[in-house]
Structures are given as C-alpha cells and as structure tokens.
Structure 1
Amino acid sequence: MNHRGLQVRMALVGTILFAFYLAIATVAYAAFNIPLAIVLIGSFGLVGIQYVLGKKMALWTTGAKDMPEDGQYAQVHRSVERFSEEMGIEKPRLMVASMGVPNAFATGRRGAGVVVVSEELMSILDHDELEGVLAHELAHIENRDVLTMTIGQSIAMMVGIAVHWIVLFTGERSLANYFLGYLAGIVAQMFVMVFVMAISRYREYIADADAAQVIGTGDPLARALEKISRGAQASGNEVDDSVAALCIFGGAERLLSTHPPTEERISRLRSY
C-alpha cells in the first residue's frame, strides 16, 4: 500500500528531527571541545543503540513472551500469516503479554517486526475484532512508521538531556540551577515531541484505513476500539509511557496525545 501523504510527512519530520540532532552534535563539538570524530560516531551510534534498546525495552516493560503457534493462539497465527502475505511483508514475531489493559502494539521494522497482544485484549474481543487489531498493527510495520516513531522519541529524549546539561554547565552550580536545567530539559523534549506528534496521529488513521482495506470492512476494528476504550476505563490502568505511543489505544486523550480521538477513528472506520 502506497501512502504518499504519510511518506512525505515522515520525510519532513525526519528532516526536522535530524536538524535537532545535528544541533546537539554542534553544541557538543563547539561548547565542550569534544573531537568531531567522537561527536559523529557517538551521536549516530547512540541513535542505533536507542533504537535497539527502545525495541527491547518495550518488550521487557510489558513482560512479553513468545506466542505459541498451537492451542488457543493457532487462529491468531493463521490470521497474521494471511494478512502478512496480502500486505507483502514477512510475518512478524508474535508475542503475548499481561499489560493490565486490553491493548496491542507493533515494534521493529519490516523483516524484523514484532506484534505484541495483551491477554486482556484477546479475552474481550471476538475473533473478527481481533483480526482488525492485528491488521492495524501489521499496517504500521508495512508503512515503516514504527521506526520513525521510535527514533523520533529517542531524539526528543536526547535533546531534553542535552538541554538539561547545557543549563547545568553554563550556569552556577546550585540546586536551583539543577532544577532549572531539569525543567528546561522537559520543555525541550516536549517541544521536539510536537513534531513527532505531527505524524503520530496521522499514522493511526492510515493504519486504520489499511486494516479496513485488508479485512474488507472497518466495522470489526471500530467495534474493537469501542471495547478497548471501555476496557481501559474499567481497569483504571494505563500502559507504560515507553510503549503508549506504539499501542493501538494510547490511553487518556490529552493535548500532546499520540493518538487521535477514539470517537473520530470509529466514525471514519464505519464509513469505509
């Protein structure tokens, strides 16, 4: 599936994020007299490390375990195999986790993707609704937007840390300056995350549309989102912030939410 709008947005946001990243490297080189070679190797190496750790951290945080291919999960594997073949991607690794809320998320990239489904999700959804969720997560892997989100969050975190230390090293060594640096780091990280949000909500709409196209209707996923929303409210729990942006349901909707309003997603799905 070719989504020119999503590709253009990812390219634009990626360029802006790279500019932030380059700014960090420039400050490290100019202000702290760190050799340029070390700055370049360290900065690009850190992005790679952050990507690998981000994927592993998401799986570790949720306690995800490999999903057996037999028994109660056999039908899930067959559905994912069918959808993967239709989308032209390699079947991702399937894992199951007890997340405290009904949810699911995808991480990794094409050829090395992972889809994690919570036990709570499978307990409340009918199979066609679960297929809608699975198709949605596979669409994220196919569209390569998971990689952009993971790297974007990593760069935002790095900018926040850099601003924090810049404030500390350029000001007085005091407790007040430490907290000033901490607050400045948070604001800087939130500012960079605004650009990540520019594609985050859009990519959810695209993945919803792709899921509806693969299944032939948007109704199963719409019903799944209704159940997921009710289940999350009833549990009173939210997924960890480290994986919330990757999940099909992001939890409480707020100004900097990574997900569009659930009601709007359901309305669009039912129009397909």
Structure 2
Amino acid sequence: MLLVGVSILAFYSLLSYGSYVLLVTLWRLRPDPVTAGLVVGATAVLFGYASLRFGTRRLLSRLDARELPRSRYPGVYGISDRLAAEMSVDTPRILVTRLPVPNAFALDTAGRDTVVLDAALFRLLDREEFEGLLAHELAHLESKDSLVQTLTFTTLQTAVGLVSLLVAPPVFLVTGLALAAAWVRGDPRSWPRTLPGRLKARIEEAVSVLMVGITLLARAHSRRREFAADDRAAEVTGRPLALARALRKIERTAEPRFGLLSPLWVYGEVESEEERTLRDLFSTHPRTEDRVERLRSRADSGRVEVEVR
C-alpha cells in the first residue's frame, strides 16, 4: 500500500508538473491581449458553428423528417411565403415528422433555414393558429436565435475550459496527495475525507457552480427569446390570441387526458413549489400560462381579438 501510494503521488505529480509546464509555455508564447482574445473568440465561434451544423444534421437524420411538397400543400406555403415576405427571412424548408407530442421548431441549417412541424399540428390547429405558430418559428430564424445561443454558450464554455486549465496543476497535485495519504494509511476509500481530498472537492464545486451559472444564464436568455418571438409573431399576424390558442392546444395535447386520474399517474408525482421553480430555472421555454397571459395583455391593449377559449 505504501508502494501504491507513492506511485499514485508520483503519477499525479507528473500530471501537475506537465500542466504547469504547459501553462508556462503558453504564457511565454502569449501574444498581445487583443490578439489572444481574438484567437480565443475565433476558436470558440468556429467550434460553436461546427457544433450547430453537425448537431442539426444529426437531429434531422434521427427525426426522419420529410419535406412538405409545395404542390400538394399550396395553402401552407402560401402562409409561409407571405410571412417570410413581411419578415427579414427567406421562405424556409418545411419538414414534417412525427414527434412524441405536437411541436414545432426552427433550425438554422447551412444554405437554407428549416422549420420542422409535427404532423398532428395540421389537424390540431386552425388556419389562424397555424399562422401564429409558424410566424413564431420564423421570428426565431429572423433573429438567428439558435446560432446566437449556440455561439454564446460555446464561448462561455471555452472560458470555463480556460479556468479549468488554470486550476489543473493544483487539482492534480491535491488529488495525488489525497489518494497517496489514503493508501499509505491503509484505507484507500477514505481519500475524499482527507484535507487534500476536501480541497479538491471545493475546487471542483467552484468549477461546477460556474458551469451551472452559465447554464442558467443561457436558459434565461432562451426564455427571453421565446417571449420576443411571441411578440414578433403577434406583430406580424396582428392576432396574438391565435398564437395563444395554439399554445394552449399544444399544451393540453401534451398533458395526460385524465389528469390525476390517468392510469399512468403515480402517487407522489405532483411537483412541489421548489421543484417547479427549479424546473422553470433550467427550462428553455417559459411557462405556457405566462406566454398566454402576455399575449392576452397584448390583445387587450390593441382590442384586436376575442378572448382565448
């Protein structure tokens, strides 16, 4: 056990020294701050752009989506063409697939933007509701939301990676000390309770908190963009309550038909207020009731439609 402990300490010491040498080398080769910032930013943007493109391609291949024929659905493309003409976008490809629940989403694909629709939406929504939902998705394409969010998140992840690189030497060293001390004492499983082990845990917790904070910021920005897309769709169509009705119908379709009496409901599944708040913080979309209330307020201010059913 003494031999194992010494070997572990030597191994992690080499890792610590190697990461230290790497940091020193990078520091000596560093360009001026402006150039360094441009290189880091360009690298983050490049990886983010590649991630978006390849991720979108994989998603479409998994969905097995089919392009909607224009000749067979001129009404759908008539709505799409008219909305695109009023907004700063080209007419997107419209793909249809079958999703677990009715949904629609926009993809910023290379060459031509794409809107993916669940087949159930064509029988679930009326013309005005469908127009509002499609305008919402085109609003995402108009503002390049998916591209901006992906690049922003990748840039923040790059910053976290640089922080992780900076703390790598002490993390490797304290890990080796904790493991070696535990093995020398004859109790390898006790290493997290040693002083170096606790120090390593604190460093990892700090990095984890930083990642969680970045995730929360990205999700909060995504929720704001959903509100902005709702506002843009209401502005273009002039019928905010049509979009509100569409959101309500989609939400009701996704809910269990019998509520708490559903045969799939299990006692204890009701969320507490804390659980719901936590879910809302990590959600990419606001609550449907919040979106509907916002659209209703917009309609009331303009007196343009009847109440939401």
TM-score above 0.5: yes
- Of all paired residues, the percent bearing the same amino acid is 33
Q: What RMSD, in angstroms, separates the aligned Cα atoms of the two structures?
A: 3.7
Residue 14 of structure 1 corresponds to which residue in structure 2? none
Flag the 1:46–1:82 CA change in 2: closer, same or farther, 3 A.
Answer: same
Q: Deviations over 1:51-89 (max 9, x none)?
A: 322332442343333222232x33222211110011132
Kept in 2, the 8 Å contact 1:115–1:137? The answer is yes
81-90 vs 142-151, which deviates more? 142-151
Aligned residues: 230
What CA distance in whole angstroms lies between the structure 1 residues aligned with 2:147 and 2:222? 12
1:227 is aligned, of 222, 243, 249, to 249
Kept in 1, the 8 Å contact 2:106–2:116? The answer is yes
Residue 59 of structure 1 corresponds to which residue in structure 2? 60
Letter in 2 for 1:79: I
2:94 match: secondary structure: strand
Pairing of 1:87-166 with structure 2 (within 5 A):
87-108=87-108, 112-156=112-156, 158=158
Residue 211 of structure 1 corresponds to which residue in structure 2? 233
Q: Deviations over 1:25-57 (max 9, x none)?
A: xx9996284676997575443233123223324
Q: Deviations over 1:180-239 (max 9, x none)?
A: 998776544322122223422221112111111221111111011001111222399xxx
What CA distance in whole angstroms lies between the structure 2 residues aligned with 1:136 and 1:116? 13
Q: Where in structure 2 are there 5+ consecutive unaligned residues?
A: 1-18, 180-191, 260-277, 300-309
Flag the 1:101–1:44 CA change in 2: closer, same or farther, 3 A.
Answer: same
Flag the 1:147–1:43 CA change in 2: closer, same or farther, 3 A.
Answer: closer
Flag the 1:60–1:260 CA change in 2: closer, same or farther, 3 A.
Answer: same
Kept in 1, the 8 Å contact 2:20–2:169? The answer is no
Letter in 2 for 1:45: L
Letter in 2 for 1:75: G
Pairing of 1:178-189 with structure 2 (within 5 A):
187-189=209-211
1:258 match: secondary structure: coil
Letter in 1 for 2:94: L
Q: Deviations over 1:89-133 (max 9, x none)?
A: 211121112221111111217973211111233332222211111
TM-score by length of 2: 0.61
Q: Where in structure 1 are there 5+ consecutive unaligned residues?
A: 1-26, 237-251
Pairing of 1:257-268 with structure 2 (within 5 A):
257-268=283-294
What CA distance in whole angstroms lies between the structure 1 residues aligned with 2:84 and 2:51? 27
1:234 match: secondary structure: coil
2:23 is aligned, of 31, 56, 59, to 31
1:131 match: secondary structure: helix
What CA distance in whole angstroms lies between the structure 1 residues aligned with 2:211 and 2:63? 24
Q: Deviations over 1:120-153 (max 9, x none)?
A: 3333222221111100010111122232122234
What CA distance in whole angstroms lies between the structure 1 residues aligned with 2:230 and 2:44? 35
Q: Deviations over 1:224-257 (max 9, x none)?
A: 1001111222399xxxxxxxxxxxxxxx952221
200-209 vs 50-59, which deviates more? 50-59
